[in-house]
Amino acid sequence: MHITKDVIYAGVSDKDKDLFEGQYKVPNGVSYNSYVILDEKTAVIDTTDGAFCDEWLSNVERALAGRDADYLVVQHMEPDHSSNIIGFARRYPEALIVASEKAFSMMKNFYGSSFEERRVVVKEGDTLALGRHTLSFISAPMVHWPEVIMSYDACDKILFTADGFGRFGSTSEEDEWKNEARRYYIGIVGKYGPQVSSVLKKAAALDIKTICPLHGPVLTKNLEYYIDLYTKWSSYTPEEDGVVVAYASIYGNTRAAAEILAQKIGEHTNVKLFDLSRCDIHEAIACAFAYPKLVLASSTYNGEVFPSMRAYISGLVERGYRARTVAFIENGSWAPMATKQMRALLEGCKDLTFTEAGVKILSSVSDKNRDEIEALAQELCSK
């Protein structure tokens, strides 16, 4: 697939993957993107997951159309992109390997070689001249590892963004982007919002017509839409008004309260309801970053919060959850403790506001609880 006359897609689709990074469900698979630039010199940008070495090398060979590879640019060392560096180096023994200093250290640790004899170490602002195309490198630490560089080709106005702007699922630009890109971003890079913001500021100075990420579609249209979402996500700004109601229920009574509340909220604004014991927890985590308000509803269990709620809050905290309004629904047949526990688990989060209204259930939803739910719905929908 030609992206421009000189830039060719050489990546692969992994349709059989069950869990990306061993935890994220990918029902529509995931792609490992790689690109070939043909010029006076040729450059290959990134490799792929190790399971696809032969397929990827064959794609590269086809893209090179009989020419040799002069450079392999390694933007990111996570194994979903770096696993075939050795395979490439063997296939193209004359090619130089281009990467950051940190990436070469990681190469040694991962693959036993830092390519002392054939390496080009680059840093922020360095360039690699290929002919008409010159790659300028942008340091992008923690987007998503410390060694990451992005590459800008001013000739075709392409920004190669490593994991940035990646998405689970297919490489089709026509497929819905936002939800799977958000689940990818929040799950994998969400903790590093300030670092992403910093790279976005650098990118704002560039004339970009195409974004080439290492996962998902090459982005060619309406780039402001994607950049706006990334600006929001990296600054922990909600995308739009709405409430996530996430519940952990044992016998259905906490669920009943959550459902009543969600129904009431849904009469006024967006609402998403998640059963934390059954849903894709990473979708529930990502969704909490999309909306400004979150309701946590949990049974008390062994004097603690219910396990699936603990995992959920831990997932939020780990990814820098902040600047949101949070409400609690707790249930406990003899000693409700869940609200206290949930609030304590959120202690490290910045700029949280807690609602005045809350719900305390003693086994099943009472008339008093219905009034509490009504008051909570009103408070959540009135601000």
Residues contributing to the site for ligand FEO (CB under 6 A): 76, 78, 80-81, 144, 163, 214-215
Query: CB 163 → ligand FEO: shortest distance, Å?
Result: 4
Task: Count other Cβ atoms within 10 Å, centred on residue 279.
Answer: 17
**Helices 253-266/367-382 angle, 10° precision:** 40
CA 66 from chain centre, in angstroms, equals 37
Residue closer to ligand FEO by CB (options 196, 376) is 196
Task: Count other Cβ atoms within 10 Å, centred on residue 278.
Answer: 8
Q: Mention every residue, 6+ apart, whose C-beta is less than 8 A from residue 375.
A: 357
Residue closer to ligand FEO by CB (options 22, 93) is 22
For residue 310, how many C-alpha atoms fall within 13 Å in the half-sphere facing its CB? 12
Query: CB 216 → ligand FEO: shortest distance, Å?
Result: 10
Query: CB 215 → ligand FEO: shortest distance, Å?
Result: 6
Residue closer to ligand FEO by CB (options 42, 151) is 151
Residue closer to ligand FEO by CB (options 26, 246) is 26
Closest residue to ligand FEO using C-beta atoms = 78
Strands 293-301 and 325-331: parallel
Query: CB 82 → ligand FEO: shortest distance, Å?
Result: 9
Residue closer to ligand FEO by CB (options 166, 358) is 166
Query: CB 228 → ligand FEO: shortest distance, Å?
Result: 22
Residue of 36, 40, 37 lying closest to 59 (CA atoms): 36
Residue closer to ligand FEO by CB (options 166, 292) is 166
Residue closer to ligand FEO by CB (options 14, 330) is 14
Residue closer to ligand FEO by CB (options 151, 249) is 151
Strands 353-354 and 325-331: parallel
**Helices 281-290/307-318 angle, 10° precision:** 50
CB 72 within 8 A of CB 97: yes
Residue of 149, 162, 173, 158 lying closest to 6 (CA atoms): 158
Query: What does the alpha-carbon distance between residue 216 and residue 300 come to, in Å, rounded to a whole number?
Result: 41
Q: Mention every residue, 6+ apart, whose C-beta is less than 8 A from residue 340.
A: none
Residue closer to ligand FEO by CB (options 104, 168) is 168
Query: CB 184 → ligand FEO: shortest distance, Å?
Result: 9
Query: What does the alpha-carbon distance between residue 325 and residue 190 come to, in Å, rounded to a whole number?
Result: 19
Query: CB 176 → ligand FEO: shortest distance, Å?
Result: 20
DSSP state of 332: -
CB 333 within 8 A of CB 364: no
Query: CB 281 → ligand FEO: shortest distance, Å?
Result: 20
State residue 119 phi and psi, 5-degree precision. -120, 155
Residue closer to ligand FEO by CB (options 192, 321) is 192
CB 254 within 8 A of CB 329: yes
Quote the longest CA-to-CA distance of the chain.
Answer: 77
Task: Count other Cβ atoms within 10 Å, centred on residue 61.
Answer: 16
Q: Mention every residue, 6+ apart, whose C-beta is less than 8 A from residue 368.
A: none
Query: CB 79 → ligand FEO: shortest distance, Å?
Result: 8
Query: CB 81 → ligand FEO: shortest distance, Å?
Result: 6
